[in-house]
């Protein structure tokens, strides 16, 4: 029996609106209610914030919801969950942070008037608005940073001061075209002075894709009682500060400083930027605590104020790597490795650290750190004991495919869980005593929303001809998702979904695109080729110099494996004559390679901001270093392109296969993409048009690399489905 898709555009949009509207938890904070101690347990208030896509108005809504949780005195792992409060919409909250006691909440609120954007810092108590600072009127800095790379809003332990990061004010005539950058601590002229006539068009660098409004970050301290803001002095002039937090005594701060000399490179999704951990006291004395030849991120201070843990990686090379967790002892001033890089993990063991630590990750004993990280096709929850260096997995993959820690406070862990067939939800549990972390009792908050899909995990090995001789013996994974709502033995079309990066991955977690495609009756194969995170450092390094070949072969091997796995007990049959491919960025690069190298295999292709010609991309990308590293070449800031390097880049690019492409191609391009210029897609568009090949181009002038605007994502999805329906003859 063959599957025929007959849904009209309106029905497809309605289904997308429904499934994309499932909310996602983004943050959590726990407060122990000492005054509400009950006869049978201790009460905790859990405050959560959620994001929900609303396609009618093209908006992402943020709302708050609270739970009361009661811990049983007799059995401390038991939690009595009270009904949640009604959801409340959050208006204009740019940043927010609870004080350590939970009695105060700081909010940076942004309001847009007819002429200017105004910024306010509000402090709320349990009863009312306690203090408000007009940051725009104080005129100490520019826009407050809210991004995950630099941004922070940290309370001091005395709960009287707040630390945050903002854009520094620029002095007249200053420019990064000059030999040295202005110090982050130097006073800068206010906007009212304005640039001189000769300087008004001077170029200022920024930090690239997703950070285009960020150039000169400064550390700022707001004194809540005095109503003042101070820009901290003493930050070294060659670094840009971010990810700040207070020392335990409240007299100094820790921060990460990124080198911005000789010029800035794109920072988002790049854990390989030279940076270090610094300590700055309020008198302006600054000290580098870590080495200065690595990349550093996610500093987190233990509850007793003695230990700092942070992540460390290599500079340059793969843009996202397996990281180590370092521990800095503030008493002995010694650094030790808490979690080392994992080169080649065994199948069911810890596979290394690949993502930022949550803001609150320490157990109350200051002995253990809880974190989430990739493990093959999963995201799991782990705890490391700093005294034994032992890493223990606490998640249960058979229940959820992805476990992401939002917070741990008072040893209560709040985790965002989901699966490819189950929408996001929260689970909570108390961290057992040291040594007992393998037995965690999890409780669910709210009802589950099941998709009605079957998820099969594929472990794929390359053939002997596809092995990498330098890194032999590596395998990789894939996730095959099919519907369970069609009659048995139905033949369904297969969508091959390829992730970008390339050093990222598909987790077995909620994915709106996959969910809607499966609901429409497609099967979706999500491939984690060699070079994906979660499979060890060797897998990541194996891809350098082999893009366009090793990763292409891996995707094709995964597809052939899925098509061959058609045993009698399978409910559905994948139709080998109806295979299409889609992907974005490097995923688009691979999709275009696949339709060029296997021109008769794929019947249609849809790509978002694809890399088409690595040679012509060299001068337009914000991560020029990766353009060299990806093809196996070393990078330095003073590097100039050579004919040999450009030839290597061209030879590894899908544009060389353009004459062989037969599959109709849908291109979706962001006009403001700083990572992959939209003219990459135009290059393929013109090549295909000149040959009379079917091609359609969607241009989103105000979107960047991820095409993240709500209306853009809905538009893209509808066009992708209609494109596949048209060229698979599913009408």
Structural domains of the chain, count: 1
Residue 114: what pLDDT?
Answer: 58
DSSP 233: P
The catalytic position among 298, 372, 585, 629 is 585
Closest of 363, 359, 122, 153 to residue 253, by C-alpha: 153
- Mean pLDDT for 424-446 is 92
Residue 679: what pLDDT?
Answer: 97
Structure tokens at 110: 């942004």
Distance of CA 232 to the CA centre of its chain: 29
Residue that has been written with the tokens 């003695």 in this structure: 306
pLDDT value at 188 more than 80: no
Give the pLDDT band of residue 182 (cuts 50, 70, 90). very low
Among this protein's residues, is 91 annotated catalytic? Answer: no
- Mean pLDDT for 586-612 is 98
Give the pLDDT band of residue 180 (cuts 50, 70, 90). very low
Instruction: Tell me the helices (H) and strands (E) count for the chain, helix number first.
Output: 11, 36
pLDDT value at 18 more than 90: yes
Distance of CA 725 to the CA centre of its chain: 31
β-sheet bridge partners, residue 525: 480, 496
Give the pLDDT band of residue 176 (cuts 50, 70, 90). very low
Angle between helices 512-519 and 710-727 (to 10 degrees): 40
pLDDT tens sequence across 661-717: 999 999 999 999 999 999 999 999 999 999 999 999 999 999 999 999 999 999 999
Q: Is residue 203 part of a domain?
A: no
Give the pLDDT band of residue 184 (cuts 50, 70, 90). very low
- Mean pLDDT for 47-64 is 93
Whole-angstrom distance, CA of residue 24 vs CA of residue 17:
15
Q: Is residue 484 part of a domain?
A: yes
Report the run of H or E that residue 166 belongs to, with start and end. strand 161-167
Give the pLDDT band of residue 571 (cuts 50, 70, 90). low
pLDDT tens sequence across 228-251: 999 999 999 999 999 999 999 999
Residue 398: what pLDDT?
Answer: 73
pLDDT tens sequence across 544-565: 999 999 999 999 999 999 999 8
| Count of alpha carbons within 13 angstroms of residue 453, beta-carbon side | 31
Whole-angstrom distance, CA of residue 533 vs CA of residue 543:
11
Structure tokens at 115: 């002429």
326 against 438, higher pLDDT: 326
Burial (0-12, 13-18, 19+ Cβ within 10 Å), 549: middle
Q: Is residue 711 part of a domain?
A: yes
- Mean pLDDT for 264-283 is 97
Which CATH number belongs to the domain containing residue 498 in this structure? 3.40.50.1820
Instruction: Give the three-class secondary structure for 526.
Output: strand
Number of other CB atoms surrounding residue 261 within 10 Å: 14
Task: Find the range with the poorest average confidence among 204-218, 335-349, 436-450.
Answer: 436-450
Q: Where do runs of H (alpha helix) occur along 598-709?
A: 614-617, 624-629, 643-651, 678-690
Q: Rounded to 5 degrees, what are φ and ψ at 720?
A: -65, -50
Residues in CB range of 567: below 8 A, 6 or more apart: none
Residue 42: what pLDDT?
Answer: 85
Express the helix, strand and coil content of the chain in percent, nearest 5 each: 15, 35, 50
Residue 329: what pLDDT?
Answer: 97
- Mean pLDDT for 632-656 is 96
Number of other CB atoms surrounding residue 488 within 10 Å: 9
Whole-angstrom distance, CA of residue 545 vs CA of residue 375:
24
| Count of alpha carbons within 13 angstroms of residue 149, beta-carbon side | 23
Whole-angstrom distance, CA of residue 365 vs CA of residue 385:
10
The catalytic position among 673, 703, 706, 727 is 673
Contact 21, 37 (CB under 8 A): no
pLDDT tens sequence across 466-482: 999 999 999 999 999 99
Closest of 255, 59, 264, 267 to residue 713, by C-alpha: 59
Structural domain including 710 reads 453-613+653-730
Residue 455: what pLDDT?
Answer: 94
The catalytic position among 419, 593, 705, 727 is 705
Residue that has been written with the tokens 């390679």 in this structure: 593
Number of other CB atoms surrounding residue 427 within 10 Å: 21
Among this protein's residues, is 281 annotated catalytic? Answer: no
Residue 570: what pLDDT?
Answer: 62
Whole-angstrom distance, CA of residue 364 vs CA of residue 369:
10
Contact 133, 120 (CB under 8 A): yes
Whole-angstrom distance, CA of residue 273 vs CA of residue 265:
8
C-alpha torsion 200→202→208→213, nearest 10: -20
Instruction: Give the three-class secondary structure for 178.
Output: coil
Q: Is residue 63 part of a domain?
A: no
Q: Is residue 181 part of a domain?
A: no
Instruction: Give the three-class secondary structure for 247.
Output: coil
Contact 569, 628 (CB under 8 A): no
DSSP 200: T
> If you count them, how many residues does the chain have?
731
409 against 2, higher pLDDT: 409
- Rounded to the nearest 5 degrees, what angle is found at the Cα of 401, between the Cα atoms of 399 and 402? 115
Whole-angstrom distance, CA of residue 327 vs CA of residue 334:
8
Among this protein's residues, is 673 annotated catalytic? Answer: yes
Report the run of H or E that residue 119 belongs to, with start and end. strand 117-124
Q: Is residue 418 part of a domain?
A: no
Residue 75: what pLDDT?
Answer: 65
In order of 423, 561, 563, 722, the CA distances from 480 in angstroms are 17, 11, 10, 22
Does this model's pTM top 0.75? My answer is yes
Q: What is the mean pLDDT of the chain?
A: 92
In order of 472, 592, 729, the CA distances from 577 in angstroms are 33, 19, 11
Whole-angstrom distance, CA of residue 175 vs CA of residue 198:
12
Q: Is residue 462 part of a domain?
A: yes
């Amino acid at each position: 029996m063959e599957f025929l898709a007959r849904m009209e555009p309106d029905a497809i949009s309605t289904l997308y609106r429904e499934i994309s509207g499932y909310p996602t938890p983004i943050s959590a904070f726990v407060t122990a209610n000492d005054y509400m101690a009950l006869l049978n347990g201790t009460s905790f208030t859990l405050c959560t914030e959620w994001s929900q896509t609303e396609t009618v108005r093209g908006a992402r809504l943020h709302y708050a919801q609270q739970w009361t949780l009661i811990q049983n005195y007799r059995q401390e792992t038991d939690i009595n969950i009270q009904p949640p409060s009604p959801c409340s919409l959050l208006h204009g909250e740019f940043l927010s942070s609870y004080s350590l006691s939970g009695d105060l909440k700081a909010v940076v609120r942004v309001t847009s008037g007819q002429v200017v954007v105004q910024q306010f810092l509000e402090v709320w108590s349990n009863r009312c608005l306690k203090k408000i600072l007009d940051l725009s009127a104080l005129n100490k800095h520019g826009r407050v940073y809210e991004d995950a790379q630099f941004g922070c809003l940290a309370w001091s332990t005395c709960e009287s001061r707040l630390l945050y990061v903002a854009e520094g004010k620029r002095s007249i005539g200053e420019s990064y075209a000059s030999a040295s950058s202005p110090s982050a601590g130097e006073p800068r002229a206010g906007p009212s002075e304005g640039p001189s006539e000769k300087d008004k068009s001077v170029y200022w660098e920024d930090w690239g894709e997703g950070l285009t409004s960020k150039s000169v970050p400064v550390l700022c301290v707001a004194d809540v009682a005095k109503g003042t803001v101070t820009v901290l002095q003493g930050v070294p002039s060659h670094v840009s500060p971010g990810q700040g937090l207070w020392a335990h005594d409240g007299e100094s701060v820790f921060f990460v400083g990124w080198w911005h000399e000789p010029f800035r490179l794109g920072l988002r999704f790049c854990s390989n930027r030279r940076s270090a951990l610094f300590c700055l006291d309020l008198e302006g004395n600054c000290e580098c605590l870590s080495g200065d030849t690595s990349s550093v991120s996610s500093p987190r201070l233990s509850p007793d104020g003695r230990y700092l843990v942070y992540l460390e990686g290599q500079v340059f090379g793969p843009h996202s790597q397996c990281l180590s967790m370092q521990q800095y002892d503030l008493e002995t001033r010694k650094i030790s490795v808490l979690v080392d890089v994992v080169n080649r993990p065994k199948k069911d063991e810890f596979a290394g650290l690949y993502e930022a630590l949550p803001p609150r990750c320490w157990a109350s004993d200051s002995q253990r750190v809880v974190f989430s990280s990739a493990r093959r096709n999963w995201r799991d929850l782990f705890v490391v004991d700093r005294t034994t260096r032992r890493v223990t997995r606490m998640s249960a993959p058979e229940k959820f495919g992805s476990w992401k820690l939002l917070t741990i406070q008072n040893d209560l862990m709040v985790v965002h869980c989901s699966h490819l067939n189950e929408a996001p939800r929260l689970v909570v549990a108390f961290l057992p005593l040291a040594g007992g972390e393998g037995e965690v009792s999890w409780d669910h908050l709210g009802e589950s929303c099941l998709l009605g899909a079957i998820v099969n995990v594929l472990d794929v090995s390359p053939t002997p001809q596809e092995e990498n001789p330098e890194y032999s013996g590596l395998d990789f994974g894939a996730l095959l998702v099919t519907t369970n709502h069609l009659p048995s033995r139905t033949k369904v079309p297969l969508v091959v979904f390829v992730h970008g990066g390339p050093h990222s991955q598909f987790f077995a977690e909620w994915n709106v695109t996959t969910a809607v495609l499966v609901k429409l009756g497609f099967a979706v194969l999500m491939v984690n080729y060699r070079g994906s995170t979660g499979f060890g450092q060797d897998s990541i390094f194996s891809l350098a110099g082999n893009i366009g070949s090793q990763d292409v072969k891996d995707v094709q091997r995964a597809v052939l494996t899925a098509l061959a796995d058609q045993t009698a007990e399978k409910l559905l049959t994948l139709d080998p004559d109806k295979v299409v491919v889609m992907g974005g960025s490097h995923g688009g690069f691979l999709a275009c390679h696949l339709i060029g190298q296997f021109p008769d295999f794929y019947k249609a292709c849809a790509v978002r901001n694809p890399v088409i010609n690595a040679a012509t991309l060299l001068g337009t990308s914000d991560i020029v270093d990766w353009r060299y590293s990806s093809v196996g070449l070393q990078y330095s800031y003073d590097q100039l392109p050579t004919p040999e390097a450009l030839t290597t880049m061209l030879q590894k690019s899908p544009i060389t296969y353009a004459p062989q492409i037969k599959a109709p191609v849908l291109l979706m391009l962001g006009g403001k993409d700083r990572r992959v210029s939209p003219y990459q897609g135009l290059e393929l568009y013109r090549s295909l048009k000149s040959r009379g090949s079917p091609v359609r181009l969607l241009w989103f002038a105000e979107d960047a690399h991820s095409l993240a605007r709500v209306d853009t994502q809905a538009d893209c999805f509808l066009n992708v489905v209609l494109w596949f329906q048209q060229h698979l003859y599913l009408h």
